[in-house]
Structure 1
Amino acid sequence: MLGPDKEEVGDAGEGDHAGEDEQIKSERDPNLVTWDGPEDPENPKNWSFKRKWAATLIVSSFALISPVSSSMVAPALLTMAKEFHVTNSAVTSLMLSIFVLAFAVGPLFVGPLSEMYGRVIVLQTSNLIYLFFNLGCGLANTKTQMIIFRFLAGLGGSAPLVIGGGVLSDLFRPEERGKAISIYSLAPLLGPAIGPIAGGFVTEHTTWRWAFYATTIADGLFQITGLFFLQETYPPILLDRKKKRLIKETSNAALYTQWDNLNCTAIQAIRISLVRPFKLLGSQIIIQVLAIYMAFLYGIIYLVLSTFATLWVEVYYESIGIGGLNYISVGVGLFVGTQIAAPLQDRIYRTFKGRNNDIGKPEFRVILMFPGAFLVPLGLFWYGWSAQYQIHWIMPNIGAAIMAAGIIIGFQCIQTYIIDTYTTYAASAVGSATVLRSLAGFGFPLFAPYMYANLHYGWGNSLLGFLAIGIGWPAPLLLWRYGEMLRMRSPYAAG
């Protein structure tokens, strides 16, 4: 376990000359254990392409399966309510949304724990918790069991949504990070769209319990794959292992790393780490602004998805199975948005870095937020009014796809900006932002029926569109102008 005594110091290892700086420090102090130069193969940023992407894809798979679980049960809710003798609609909704509520609690703990004990042990342990309690949901016999197991499964399933950002921060340099973030960011948003498609057909042809059995089997395969191909990436943990190996080889007990704190007890280290996400969310204006915007985007996609079942079945008179296929439009929008953002993020970053004396800045991620912020309200207006006037079914789907593309572009830019800004503490920073995001995913669908009952699809989605303009358009402008100033005032930010 590492004592995070350097908490008030920026991450010295993120810049382009990090390896050189560490080598100089090592020469000044022969007892300081660092990487052996900028090309050290033990440094995760110098791993091979295959090794990096194996870790990226495994973490992204973990980050996909739990959001699939969050929504896959949606088509079966009425069947479950009947079997468990639930007559209160709020309790029925709770069986679905309690999973997402757990996403707001888990990140506050798993993020900092991964910065103390390492990414892999926390990620794999949390995934096991998700696996066992998700299976428990399939075996539940009462509504109380279902709600408790769903919450505990959500706690375990929240880990990859937080730790994945830290893993990518460990593996990729800023100018390489965009494509990896694009793949990873797609998973939490694609999951809620895939879930109902699979859940609709599972419910029609088997029982609702197979919605849980299927995700448990898939997650078990990911867990086994992770045991073989997911390796530790967190530099403080890797350097601590290197230090212990060198002490054993040289018998020099004075060796230490820059993250050691010889005066910090285990209890103090745990307290500091667990408090850090709360401090970040409470004191960092950048985290607060980005968390609010990310929460709004996440809430919108959950809110719109919550209207799909009613729209396609009651307005367009489609069956549950066929109606579920309309979720594909959201998946298409997310995929297209990813294909746009993935190559452009790194290209834009490298271009602006070259114009800035080869010095990178997180603000270079903001450029792509502008088109994303334009597409979100456009898609909401398109979806809302085409559904209001019951135009051909393809039209609401096009609007939903445009909205989803804008959301994933904005989502990826926010994630990358946070990771670039808080590198050593990327997991805690992403965890802080995930809290509000998950609360929005939990809360937005709860008021959706009341909003659409009063405003209908046209004005209901127009209200969201105007909010997207009011929140989304100023955000990138403010970040571009004031982001660097705010970073310079932060003791947690890189550099």
Structure 2
Amino acid sequence: MVSIPQVILMQELSLQRSDSSLGTTARDEAGLLSKVQSDSTLRTTAQKGSSLLRVQSSKGELSESETFVSQRQADEPIIVDWDDPLDPGNPRNWTKAAKWAAAFTVSAFTFISPISSSMVAPAAGQIAQDFHITNTVEIALTISVFILGYTVGPLFLGPLSEIYGRTIIIHISNIFFIAWNIGCGFAQSKGQLIAFRFLSGIGGSAPLSIGGAVLADLWVPEERGQAIAIYSLAPLLGPAIGPVAGAWIAQLSTWRWVFHSTSITAAVIQVCGFLFLKETYAPLLLDRRAKTLQASMDAEKGNRRPVRTVYEIGQKKTTKEILKQAVFRPFQLFIQEPMIQLLGVYLAFVYGVVYLVLTVMPEIFANVYHEPIGIAGLHYISLAVGLTIASQTNAYYLDKLYVYLKKRNNGVGEPEFRLPCVMPGTILLPIGLLMVGWGAQEHVFWLVPDIGFALIGAGIILVFQGMQTYVIDAFTTYAASALAAVSCFRSLAGFGFPLFAEAMFDALGYGVGCTILAAFAVGVGCPSIWLFWKYGARIRAMSRHAQKETAAT
């Protein structure tokens, strides 16, 4: 009597993608191999995703049909996905404590770098005196060149995070930032200071371009708004608070301690990062499981099959090709995506206004209202108040409004549901600019410009939070590259605006200069939001990279 083959079967389970993960991993290694079926008939399975790993008779012989099946199955890859929707390895299934620990850590990284960008502003006079700088553009360059680093860094740091993971890139970049920021504190010439500031800006740019992608890895759209509200406050609140501290440090010590203090703070945050920031990028986590599975299969002779993650289906690319594609992706997004182009222009203007305000604020209160440098620096608090109140109010409504609009849309979420929270910001920003400009021009009581600065801060943060969440929702898988493309635009403006601010206000006055800025804010901001609200879905449908499928409950 012919002996019945022994069969080892494995069930591969594939789940449909969520909106930000293309999928979820294979079962643990212990569950990969089914039990040996001895002295029974050969069984096959019609269930989707099942595959035959190994067919071997008790005598070590295979029938002709069994040989055909074995060879065919041996060439088919095992697709590694999450075990199930509640797989604890999926960052979206982490505990709330773990998620918020990661979110606050990323926000802290994003906070300390922009503080460094503006904290030195009140000490610019001391720097100019020590290095014998008389040209106003060169003085402004020592401050704004840091933002030029923000332009360069995201173009390769963001894409690299989509290859090697978020955490390692953030850690290396922050250490790079700390090293060159320490160098700034010991600089012996204006050339050294400018060069070191630029390099530290490159390192400090990583959390600005990668942090939003980390939050997209952790939360589904309905829960993402509050985390992004806190995260997006950091790069705007930092520059507002920095000059307040910088003014008193410069007044009580020297400009060098402005850099020493930020380096010490960044080092403390880095220690927290090592403790609380774990890897969140799903493709990398799945790739680690795939390699573990491949190693275990290679150890068993005759049981070798290709193993791929759900992200690699249909891909046969070398590491060099993947790296090249990732690095060039921000440029592709900028060239090919009208959404990125328009958002980039508007956010560039808004970010430019941030650093223009940071530059002009001490001049207004020192020259127009004749306040000492320490007291003049306290007016930055008005900007911080506007940023904070609007940010935390918006944090509540950003998710609430999204859920409400999703229910009205038959349970289908759209990235455009983030835009209503942006609309008030497009109005508050120009109103604030007009109050600041004409209040200073006409020497109105100092509280009027302060209220204007608060409205500017509120308008800026509403625009930033809504737009950033919109980009993340629309380009979830490539969020880091999309944010890098937008960040490049806005950082160029943040670098350039302070260079011409003094000349513009000297020629036009505060009133006319701020009126021109307010007109641009209305002319670009309001039509942009309306355009994306009405036609955003169509634009995404034509996109090569934007998410076309929406999330349904």
Q: Which interval holds the TM-score relative to the shorter structure? A: over 0.9
Question: Is 2:104 the counterpart of 1:51?
Answer: no
Residue 146 of structure 1, aligned match among 189, 193, 206: 193
Question: Is 2:67 the counterpart of 1:14?
Answer: no
Query: Residue by residue, what CA displacement relative to the aligned partner does 1:340-394 show, whole Å, maximum 9, x if unpaired?
Result: 2101110011011111121111010111111111111111112222222222211
Instruction: Select between 451-460 and 71-80 the one with higher mean Cα deviation.
Output: 451-460
**May I ask how many residue pairs the two structures share in their alignment?**
484
Residue 107 of structure 1, aligned match among 154, 159, 164: 154
Q: 1:17 to 1:90 in 2, by over 3 A?
A: closer
Instruction: Select between 341-350 and 23-32 the one with higher mean Cα deviation.
Output: 23-32
Distance across 2 between alignment mates of 1:183 and 1:367: 19
Q: 1:262 to 1:205 in 2, by over 3 A?
A: same
Q: Equivalent residue for 2:67?
A: none
* Residue identity matched to 1:176: E
1:19 CA displacement: 6.1
Determine if contact 1:26/1:33 at 8 Å carries over to the other structure: no
Determine if contact 2:178/2:263 at 8 Å carries over to the other structure: yes
Name the SS for the 1:76 alignment partner.
helix
Question: Is 2:308 the counterpart of 1:256?
Answer: yes
Q: What does residue range 70-149 of structure 1 map to in structure 2 within 5 Å?
A: 70-149=117-196
* Residue identity matched to 1:341: N
Determine if contact 1:19/1:37 at 8 Å carries over to the other structure: no
Name the SS for the 1:32 alignment partner.
strand
Distance across 2 between alignment mates of 1:247 and 1:173: 30
1:21 CA displacement: 12
1:262 CA displacement: 6.1
Determine if contact 1:14/1:423 at 8 Å carries over to the other structure: no
Name the SS for the 1:256 alignment partner.
strand
Name the SS for the 1:337 alignment partner.
helix
Name the SS for the 2:307 alignment partner.
coil
Determine if contact 2:24/2:310 at 8 Å carries over to the other structure: no
Distance across 1 between alignment mates of 2:245 and 2:149: 23
Distance across 1 between alignment mates of 2:397 and 2:315: 44
Q: Equivalent residue for 1:296?
A: 349
Name the SS for the 1:402 alignment partner.
helix
Residue 357 of structure 1, aligned match among 410, 421, 441: 410
Residue 192 of structure 1, aligned match among 232, 239, 250: 239
Question: Is 2:498 the counterpart of 1:445?
Answer: yes
Q: What does residue range 238-317 of structure 1 map to in structure 2 within 5 Å?
A: 238-251=285-298, 252-260=304-312, 263-317=316-370
Q: Which runs of 5+ in 2 are unaligned?
A: 1-15, 28-46, 52-75, 299-303
Determine if contact 2:20/2:477 at 8 Å carries over to the other structure: no
* Residue identity matched to 1:59: V
Query: Residue by residue, what CA displacement relative to the aligned partner does 1:52-80 show, whole Å, maximum 9, x if unpaired?
Result: 11111111111111111011111111211
Q: Equivalent residue for 2:542?
A: 489
* Residue identity matched to 2:89: E
Determine if contact 1:97/1:442 at 8 Å carries over to the other structure: yes
Q: 1:224 to 1:297 in 2, by over 3 A?
A: same
Determine if contact 1:45/1:171 at 8 Å carries over to the other structure: yes
Q: What does residue range 308-457 of structure 1 map to in structure 2 within 5 Å?
A: 308-457=361-510
Distance across 2 between alignment mates of 1:253 and 1:241: 16
* Residue identity matched to 2:448: M
1:259 CA displacement: 2.7
Distance across 2 between alignment mates of 1:284 and 1:101: 23
Give the TM-score of the pair, scaled to structure 2: 0.85
1:171 CA displacement: 0.4
Q: 1:16 to 1:309 in 2, by over 3 A?
A: closer
Q: 1:354 to 1:139 in 2, by over 3 A?
A: same
Residue 85 of structure 2, aligned match among 19, 38, 45: 38
Query: Residue by residue, what CA displacement relative to the aligned partner does 1:380-429 show, whole Å, maximum 9, x if unpaired?
Result: 11222222222221111111101110110011111000000111110000
Instruction: Select between 91-100 and 261-270 the one with higher mean Cα deviation.
Output: 261-270
Determine if contact 1:377/1:464 at 8 Å carries over to the other structure: yes
Determine if contact 2:540/2:546 at 8 Å carries over to the other structure: yes
Query: Residue by residue, what CA displacement relative to the aligned partner does 1:292-320 show, whole Å, maximum 9, x if unpaired?
Result: 11111111121122111111111111110
Q: 1:50 to 1:90 in 2, by over 3 A?
A: same
* Residue identity matched to 2:246: G
Question: Is 2:204 the counterpart of 1:157?
Answer: yes
Query: Residue by residue, what CA displacement relative to the aligned partner does 1:69-116 show, whole Å, maximum 9, x if unpaired?
Result: 011111111211211122322222211111001101110000000000
* Residue identity matched to 2:214: V
Distance across 2 between alignment mates of 1:132 and 1:26: 51
Query: Residue by residue, what CA displacement relative to the aligned partner does 1:320-348 show, whole Å, maximum 9, x if unpaired?
Result: 01110000000000001101210111001
1:440 CA displacement: 0.7
Distance across 2 between alignment mates of 1:289 and 1:351: 27
Q: 1:293 to 1:17 in 2, by over 3 A?
A: closer
* Residue identity matched to 1:74: A
Distance across 2 between alignment mates of 1:92 and 1:311: 18
* Residue identity matched to 2:286: L
- Pick the structure with more helix per residue: 1
Q: 1:199 to 1:16 in 2, by over 3 A?
A: closer
Q: Equivalent residue for 2:275?
A: 228
Q: 1:449 to 1:277 in 2, by over 3 A?
A: same
1:247 CA displacement: 2.5
1:459 CA displacement: 1.7
Larger radius of gyration, structure 1 or 2? 2
